[in-house]
Each structure stands twice: as structure tokens, then as C-alpha cells.
Amino acid sequence: MERMSQLKQQLSQVLPAFMLRSEEPLSRHTSFRIGGPAELMVFPRNREELQKILELSYLSDIKPRILGAGTNILAPDEGVRGLVVVTRETFMGLRLLDETHISAMAGMSLAQTAMFAARNDLSGLEFAHGIPGTVGGGIYMNAGAYGGELKDAAVRTEFMALDGTSRWLEGETQGFSYRNSAFQSMEGVIVQTEFALTPGRESEIRERIHELAEKRRASQPLELPSAGSTFKRPKTGYAAALIEEAGLKGLSVGGAAVSEKHAGFVVNKGGATAADVLALVELVRQRVYDHSGVLLEPEVRLWSAEDAD
């Protein structure tokens, strides 16, 4: 595509060569370890570089895909055309704003953020410590576990649009609901989030983090590549219980399988393709529906092979 060739040339004039990769396998950048090549992948190191990338792509009429830690993405086997911007190292840093508020840049892991809060005697993010991925991805999905969700603590979030301009969304304007946020209907990049937390004792907060970590290790297939929980929680019951009740633990298609350890996870046993995962997901959905009348909705985000624009 002529526009992509021109954009690549423009980016090469303003960014170091190591920040631009052509036909880079997405399997190297997703927790599923699945995905073909991205036509062009760039790795901005700071706000200024990201703004330049977005400005040039905006002027070229090319809408980029934004990829953080890739922990909730199923990328297609044939790869994707267009531009992929990897932001996991773009926005880094944690700050204590006052006695109960912290600021977390979008590239920080949820584990780092939870531990920073603990070191400052602040409680409210213990549940997030074991959730893979970054603050940006967590806010985008309103990530949650063990009864907690990021919406419970997120006061406001800075968002950068595809033209490089930024604005803050505060309180309810962040649009949080179960595994959803206003950012899913917006085009751009989450920059940072401010959290309101509760004073506590570091020792007790760390103990709670440890308890949840042990619970995860005992119940989840952390040793195999996956994208975490494959399905959203239905209105009635729990996805894992419905899948197990339908007798689907261990069910496999190619290299993809329903985890024997936790039925809510589809895992990559080795060599799984996106086609394997998609076929297994649809098979599970059909059999659960046949068994219980509940149609499960995927939580994993499915990328298409076509240009983002």
C-alpha cells in the first residue's frame, strides 16, 4: 500500500531504526504466543515520540492499532496489515500524589502499581496484583478479579487521541461497566490514571496480595500461554462452572485446549493457531448453550487481519 510505504519512510526519518520493525510476528508480543506478522510495528519510548507517530499516521490517513502488553489479544494467523503501535514502554512511572491518591502511567504493570500502593500503605489494588498486563490495558477493559475492579479506584484517566491531543476523563465519564469502559469506543491511547485508595498497613496489604497470588497459582494454568479468562461472566452463573458442567475440561482443537485446571481458560498447549482457538471457543459456546441455554460471550479481544482503518 502506497500510504504505508510513505509513512514508513517518514517514520524512519524521525525515529531510530530499532524502533521500526517490518513484518514483526505478533506472536512475540501477545500472551497467547499466537499471531502472524504485523506490516509495520513501532515502539515509541515516550510521549513525544508517540505524538509524532500519531501525527504522521493521522496525516497519512492510517489508523494505527494500539498494543500494550498483549495479554488480552488473539491475533490472526495471517497477521495484520497497517501500523501497530506498541505502547507498553511509552508511559512509565508511578507517583504518590497525596495521602490517598497515586498516579500510574499506562505502561506500568498492574503488579508494579499494586506493590507501589502497598509500599505507601495504601489499600485497594491488591486484587489487581495478579492480573497480567498494564494499567492502560486494565483501564480499557475495566479489569477485575476476586471481587475488585479498577473502576472502584480509578478517579480520572488521561487519554490521547489519534491526532496527538490529550484530555482527562473524570469519574463517571470513564464509562466503566463489567469488562468495559468509555475508552473502548474512543480512538487513541490511555496515558495515565489516578487512583483513590484507602490507608492501610503495608504488612497487611502485602499479606493479602500473597494470599491472592497463592489462590491464583493453585487454581489457574499460569504455566501455559493464554489470554486469561476467555469468556465474560454471564448474567447467571459463572463461565468456568458452566463449561465444567458441560463436561468440556480438556477439550481441544489442534494446539488449543480448555484448561484442565480452570475451565474458564483456553490455553496454548504448544503450536496452537488463532484458528484453533477460535474453533475451540465456538465449540465451547455451542456446547454450553446446548447444555444450559447460556450463550457465553468472549472476553478476549479478537483482531482482524484487515487494516484498522
- Residues 173 and 154: their CA atoms lie apart, in Å, by 11
Please name the amino acid found at residue 221.
P
User: Which strand (E) or helix (H) includes residue 199?
Assistant: strand 198-199
End-to-end alpha-carbon separation of the chain, Å? 13
Nearest to 212 by CA among 143, 146, 116: 146
pLDDT of residue 308: 56
Predicted confidence at residue 88, as pLDDT, reads 87
Give, to the nearest 10 degrees, the angle between helix 2-14 and helix 47-59: 150
In a domain, 213, yes or no: no
Asked if residue 105 and residue 82 are part of one domain, the reply reads no
**56, 86, 116 — which closes off a domain?**
86
Please give the residue range of the domain that contains residue 74.
2-86
pLDDT at 33 (0 to 100): 97
Residue in 255, 300, 306, 259 with CA at minimum distance from that of residue 71: 300
Establish if 180 belongs to a structural domain.
yes
Q: Residue 38 forms beta bridges with which residues? A: 24, 80
Last residue of a domain, one of 204, 235, 255: 204
pLDDT at 163 over 90: no
Residue 27 lies inside a defined structural domain of this protein: yes
Flag whether pLDDT at 107 surpasses 60. Answer: yes
Averaged pLDDT, 10-38: 95
Cα four-point dihedral sign 256, 221, 143, 147? positive
**How far out from the chain centre does Cα 119 lie?**
25
Is residue 10 domain-shared with residue 75, that is, in the same domain?
yes
Domain count, the chain: 3
Both 129 and 175 in one domain: the answer is yes
Distances (CA, A) of 71 to 56, 247, 264, 270: 27, 27, 15, 17
Residue 141 located in a structural domain:
yes
**pLDDT surpassing 90 at residue 307:** no
Q: The C-alpha cell of 190 is what?
A: 490511555
Decide if 167 is inside a domain. Answer: yes
Is a pLDDT exceeding 90 seen at residue 181? Answer: yes
54 and 126 in a single domain? The answer is no
- Whether residue 271 sits in one domain with residue 179: no
Residue among 43, 35, 184 at smallest CA distance from 52: 43
Claim to verify: residue 200 and residue 107 sit in the same structural domain: yes
Concatenated DSSP letters for 7-63?
HHHHHHHHS-GGGEEEEEEGGGSSTT----EEEEEE---SHHHHHHHHHHHHHTT-P
Q: How confident is the model over 239-257, as pLDDT tens digits?
A: 999 999 999 999 999 999 9
* HSE value, Cβ hemisphere, 13 Å, CA-based, for 294: 21
55-75 pLDDT, tens digit each: 999 999 999 999 998 999 999
Q: What is the CATH number of the domain that holds 118?
A: 3.30.465.10
Tell me how far apart the alpha carbons of residues 114 and 48 are, in angstroms, rounded to a whole number.
27
In a shared domain, residues 183 and 256: no
| Bridge partners of residue 97, in order along the sequence | none
14/60 same-domain check: yes
Residue 33 in domain: yes
Single-letter residue type at 206 = R
- CA distances to 71, 158, 189 from 51, rounded to whole Å, are 24, 14, 10
CB-neighbour burial class of residue 1 (10 A; exposed 0-12, middle 13-18, buried 19+): exposed
Q: Is residue 298 part of a domain?
A: yes
Residue 265 has pLDDT above 70, yes or no: yes
Q: What is the CATH number of the domain that holds 276?
A: 3.90.78.10
- Looking at the structure, do residues 155 and 237 belong to the same domain, yes or no? no
Which sequence positions are flagged as catalytic? 179, 229, 299
Q: Based on the domain organization, do 115 and 62 belong to the same domain?
A: no
What are 114-145's pLDDT values in tens digits?
A: 999 999 999 999 999 999 889 999 999 999 99
Inform me whether the pLDDT recorded for 232 exceeds 70.
yes
Residue 19 pLDDT exceeds 70: yes
Tens digits of residue pLDDT in 193-217: 999 999 999 999 999 999 999 999 9
One domain, residues 197 and 104 = yes
**pLDDT confidence of 12, banded at 50, 70, 90?**
very high
pLDDT band at 309 (very low <50, low <70, confident <90, very high): very low
| Pure H helices in the chain | 2-14, 47-59, 110-119, 135-141, 202-219, 239-245, 274-292
Q: Tell me, what's the pLDDT at 250?
A: 96
Over range 91-114, report the average pLDDT. Answer: 97
Rounded to the nearest integer, the mean pLDDT of the chain is 94
154 part of a folded domain:
yes
Residue at which a domain ends, from 204, 236, 251: 204
- Which residue, among 3, 140, 123, has the nearest Cα to 62 in the 3D structure? 3
Clarify whether residues 98 and 75 are in a common domain: no
